[in-house]
A and B are shown apart, each in its own frame.
Chain A
Amino acid sequence: MTKNIDIITLSVIQNALCSISDEMSAALINTAYSTNIKDRRDCSCAIYKLNGEVIAQSEIGTPLHLGVMPAVVKTILNKFKISEIEPGDCIIMNEPYPAGPGHLNDITILSPVYFKDKMVVMVANQAHHVDVGGYAPGSMPFGVSEIYQEGLQIPPVKIVKKNKIDEEIMSIITDNVRTKIECRGDLLAQIAANNVGIKRIIELINKYGEKCLFEYIDEILNYSERRIKKGIETLPKGSYSFEDFIEGDGFTDDLIRIKATVEIHDNEIWVNFSGTSNQVKGPVNSRPPAVSACVYYVIKSILDPELPPNSGAYRPIKVIIPEGTLLNSIFPASIVHSNINTSQRIVDVLLGAFKQIVPERIVAACSGSQNLLIIGGIDPKNGKPYTYIETYGGGQGAMHNQDGMDAVHTHMTNTRNAPVEVIETFYPLLIEKYGIVKDSSGSGKFRGGSGLIRKIINLGNDATITFSSDRKKIKPWGVFKGMDGSGSNFHVIAKNGTIKKLSSKITTTLHNGEEVVSITPGGGGWGSPLERDIEKIIKDAIDGFISLKKAKDDYGVVLNPKTYKLDIKATKKLREENNLNL
């Protein structure tokens, strides 16, 4: 540690920087227009050094946004020299190629923070816009093979110049999206969030002095680096591989392999994705920043969940991804569902590798997709375009000492749901059911979380829907004899009652009066179900998480169908007959 640094001031400044990021998030959410940001909070804010390293980030946000943003900032700095970014400028960008966000929907706005005629740091935020144009409402279609079809690509340009919005650039953007008013409102909210951040950072510099503050900022990053290295040192050295699959790209159902080899060195971790399938036609390809975001997420969660998240923690991590593969696709390959499915599978693959290293620190496979549903069309009430977008939680995988959470967003996303009453008020949709899926959890000594079901009836005109999920065939895996969670399921019920089973990756039409049913996967279990505490099995049965049949088939426990009490005799008999030991 540098000699001028005192540990107390370090902690105080770090707190201050985090609360500035939080305040940026609050301003963004409070003034945003789209349900996706104001209710679902699909947005993240952070503060950056001039070399693109992240100093502090908001507590509200998604690990994916926060993980790709350093790359976004670096791309912007490749285009603009520091001297070309003036006070009061805001730079907008959404291009995943060559390096940027996970998909076009995630628009970043960056602002410089000037102190005494000198740029000192930058603030930026990323928000998922419900529509950025392209082939289908919501701009996340299947059936596309080029990024051009996914929507408007915005290279780094100044949308605000010296505090004045460039209405020409603004109009190019808003004229290319279906939900124009929301888009503009959300962009204004993003600009406002940065302005709040700038104001507070200047106050902080005034207080601590520029030189002192920057010494501490460097130390905050060094501190995180030291801490993560300490964590790495506790791991057994060696090389550990795992692979898992994405079930098709929307064009075919062919399995697409993701393979990772985690190499633990003295105080570095290298992750090598050699062995991963070549890039595919449909939009499940990924770019390296998004892949790195997943790697950072897993390593931080496993080694040090409480670690202040900043770029210092990422320094000892090296990610190797062969070009032309699924995870490093070549322009203009389509990528829009990378965030939804591929990112979650990368996490599963890494957890599979870490299971061989530190099994007590991982979770069994979670729902494995962000489970996206988009319904878009024209609202008959006012003749205006609408786009409902929501990602659904599922079961969390079980851990060595506890059950997974039910119906929750895991890993690379953490957006909220859209309230039923909000959906029905603002879209021509009626919700029939929103609940937990019985028997969806992977059984085990500790069970996985349960999946989610949402049934929506289209009250309006024919609409375009996109569904994006995975884990239909290869279910979320249990570990150490824990069983798999149930898979995803997506179907449409026509007015006459016929059920149309649909693929987990599809863009199609939802007619008036039709009902769409989305079911998300449950999480995998941990340990043999026969070792589960019987009281917990009884409680799950009473509360409707599992059926009596599942109690019997998976857990080898017979419960009285009326009282839910343990039928000791029948249970003993069942276990003897099947050679099961208690």
Chain B
Amino acid sequence: MSYRIGVDIGGTFTDLVLFEETNNEIFFHKVSSTPQNPEQGVMVCLKEIIDRFKINPKDIKVFIHGSTVATNTLIENKGAKTALITTEGFKDILTIGRQDRPKLYDFFIKRSESVIPPHLRFEIPERILYTGKVLKDIDKKKIKNIINKIKHHSVKSLSVCLLHSYANSVHEKIIKDIIEKELPDIYCSLSCDILPEFKEYQRMSTTAINAYVQPVMANYIDKLNNGLKSMGIASGLYIMQSNGGIMTSQNAQEKPINTFLSGPAAGVQSAVYFTTFKNIITIDMGGTSFDVCLAPEGKPKFAKVTEINSQPIKVPHIDIHTIGAGGGSIARVDKGGALCVGPQSAGANPGPACYCRGGTEPTVTDANLVLGRLNPEYFLGGRIKIDIGLAREAIKRIADILKISVEDTAEGIIKIVNANMIRGIRFVSVERGHDPREFSLFCFGGNGPMHASEIAAELCIPEIIVPIGPGVNSAFGLLNSDFRHDYVKSYLKETDGVNINNLNRIFDSMEELAYKQLKEEGILKESIKIIKSFDMRYAGQGYELETFISDEKINRNSLENIIRDFHNQHFKRYGYDIQNGSTEIVNLRLVAVSTVPKPLILKESEANSNINNALKDTRKVYLRGKWHDFLIYDRDKLNSGNMIKGPAIIEQMDSTTFLLPEQDLKIDEYKNMIITFRSNKND
């Protein structure tokens, strides 16, 4: 026997997916999360599944983990005491940021403080120019002074970000050498390692955040590794990165900055795997947040910068757009009498009013319950008891202000939270030149399938895909992810007259680095795929478009093709190009991927099972201002080939799917539910 395991930690549950390679079998398991010590939940979950299937721990070959540790550490301000060393004259850059305020008209808005307080930012005399030339040598004596201060303040982690270090890293490396000798117990992040790109604030912020979460992440991974060892599991521990690829736990300890979207990225990977090469939009709606990602032809879109707590983090990541919308989002009436939902959330505690945990504010889940969309007897398979009376009471309070019925208010809450999510989807699709009508909507998370039907109707998305386990989709994605590393090098040059040999040389050195890193992870050179690209723009612009390089070595000819591709992309995105304008290269990017064996999803032949076997009930559901009779089905009893005509509700342990009257549902050969609009088929 040989097993691969994926574990994803969510706010409420820790999900595990077990894949047995020999017989190609997949099993799921779920336990409550332990937010204080997340590794405990992982261990409990592992132990339970080992016991359940009588697994020999030695047979567990691969263990892949989606970690929220870095994100939570930053959001909750629980990182280590961290210091910064920067060029003399520039320690306040972390305070100044971009000097703008987050809101135009609100005097009382606050900017979030940097993770490194001003008194732990130290300046060092040195100076490098944008050309890489050293203008002033580094003052090594001053480093010694700084070391004394670092000791005095019991700093645990250090970030170093000097001006123009992307062009020449020599001074940053000198600092690291000295620190490693003098303060061997302190973690040290260099900006030339974390983000060798120009524009100092983003680089400094990214490096500072890496340093801030590093000791916590390192400690967490040590505990996990020890736990695995004590259970006799000999497999390597792999961590999911924001770029949708996995890395060894050692690398995660060095660069936790790469794990900020670890879990959500896994969810997208799973969606892409299930729907090979299709145009999909993935949505993941949980209790507090809604994640959306666009994957044209099955390739998730990538982005370079994101912000957490309004602090920029610049690492290549799957472009997952998050908004504050979920089952726990709170509804209220604003000053002008308009109904608003979120982004505030009742969270897991007290949770929606119907949870009977003292929450009194009406939430999206309360609205779904009042409308009959959720089954009060079968919430999370009956594991959580909910009270519809409390939900009505909470919603009535705002219904009275609006002077409309409780049901109409509840439906209004759903419409508004849907509108917020739709705006999020438009942001990643329409606003970036993609027409949602050409995509399928892949929905997961506990609440995704409940809202997907109406969202798709509103955006004219013709098809919805609900995977087998919407609630464990992210854990499943961990098993479908390849090894992946992203490298970038700033190289600002106009394409006209650029030295092609230099380009090839830089790519070669990045490739070498990639082979070295993957070799350390036990990957053979033959199995590595290299993808190269330029960030390009018209000389003078400030934002780039990515153009891919198909040839192994760049020559005149291929460069011309790349430039043509850039003009085309610019035209597609902005409606014009400047054919005679000079183009420039800003960054060289290289991605190294090594594929791993994945669970084979077997087709099921269409069983002639009777749909009535899956029918469990009928229920009154309020929709578009009226009560309707909805048939309720049990997902576990549906088989390939089964068809359901809307309106209907399909219940399963981890999610509820809502089907509109004008929609049809079919179970495909992989047991996904496929929802389409009847009018499309001239029925």
Chain A residues close to B by CB (< 8 Å): 7-8, 10-12, 15-16, 19, 22-23, 26-27, 29-35, 38-39, 41, 59, 61-63, 181-182, 185, 188, 191-192, 195-196, 199-200, 203, 223-224, 226-227, 230-231, 297, 300-301, 304-307, 309, 361-363, 392-393, 396, 399, 401-402, 405-410, 414-417, 419-422, 424-425, 430-436, 452, 455, 542-545
Contacts and interface: CB of A to CB of B under 8 A. Distances in A.
Given A200-B430, A414-B104, A421 B199 contact: yes
A416 B97 CA distance: 9
Contacts of A39: 542
A422 B99 contact: no
Contacts of A363: 107
Contact of B576 (A188, A203, A362, A431): A188
Contacts of B106: 301, 305-306
B103 A35 contact: no
A303 to B, nearest CB: 10
A227 B336 contact: yes
Contact of B96 (A11, A196, A362, A436): A436
A192 B416 contact: no
Contacts of B431: 19, 22-23, 26
Nearest to A185: B540
B324 to A, nearest CB: 14
13 contacts: A30-B541, A30-B542, A31-B570, A195-B576, A361-B107, A396-B107, A399-B107, A399-B108, A406-B96, A419-B201, A420-B93, A434-B93, A542-B119
Given A301-B106, A417-B98, 7 more contacts: A33-B538, A195-B575, A231-B335, A309-B105, A407-B92, A409-B100, A543-B118
Given A420-B163, A421-B163, A436-B96, A300 B105 contact: yes
Interface in B556-577: 570, 574-576
B163 A408 contact: no
Nearest to A198: B575
Interface in B111-131: 111, 117-119, 129-130
B105 A409 contact: no
Given A306-B334, A409-B100, A12 B541 contact: no
Given A26-B431, A408-B111, A417-B98, A543 B89 contact: no
B645 interface: no
A543 B153 CA distance: 13
Nearest to B538: A185
A32 B110 CA distance: 29
B101 A410 contact: yes
Given A7-B339, A420-B163, A434 B541 contact: no
A544 B108 contact: no
Given A417-B98, A424-B129, A435-B91, A38 B412 contact: no
Nearest to A23: B431
B274 interface: no
Contacts of A8: 339, 412, 415-416, 419
B554 interface: no
Nearest to B431: A23
Interface string B73-99: 000000000000000011111011011
B100 A408 contact: yes
A188 B335 CA distance: 41
Given A32-B541, A32-B542, A185-B541, A196 B575 contact: yes
B540 A408 contact: no
Nearest to A403: B110
Contact of A182 (B92, B111, B540, B581): B540
A34 B200 CA distance: 19
Contacts of A452: 96, 99
Given A30-B543, A421-B164, A10 B105 contact: no
B492 A297 contact: no
A231 B335 CA distance: 9
Contacts of B334: 306
Nearest to B107: A363
B99 A392 contact: yes
A421 B200 contact: yes
A542 B152 CA distance: 14
B98 A416 contact: yes
B108 A402 contact: yes
Given A421-B164, A434-B92, A304 B335 contact: yes
B426 interface: yes
Given A7-B402, A35-B542, A414 B93 contact: no
A195 B575 CA distance: 8
Given A7-B339, A31-B574, A434-B96, A402 B105 contact: no
Contact of B492 (A32, A425, A543, A544): A425
Nearest to B427: A19
A410 B100 CA distance: 8
B338 A31 contact: no
A224 B337 CA distance: 11
A59 B106 CA distance: 12
Determine which residue in A31, A396, A430 has the highest number of CB atoms from chain B within 10 A of its CB, and name it: A31
Given A407-B96, A417-B96, A420-B200, A402 B130 contact: no
B182 to A, nearest CB: 23
B14 to A, nearest CB: 35
Top 8 A-B pairs, shortest CB-CB distance = A38-B542, A433-B89, A227-B336, A33-B540, A435-B92, A543-B118, A305-B106, A393-B99
Nearest to A62: B104
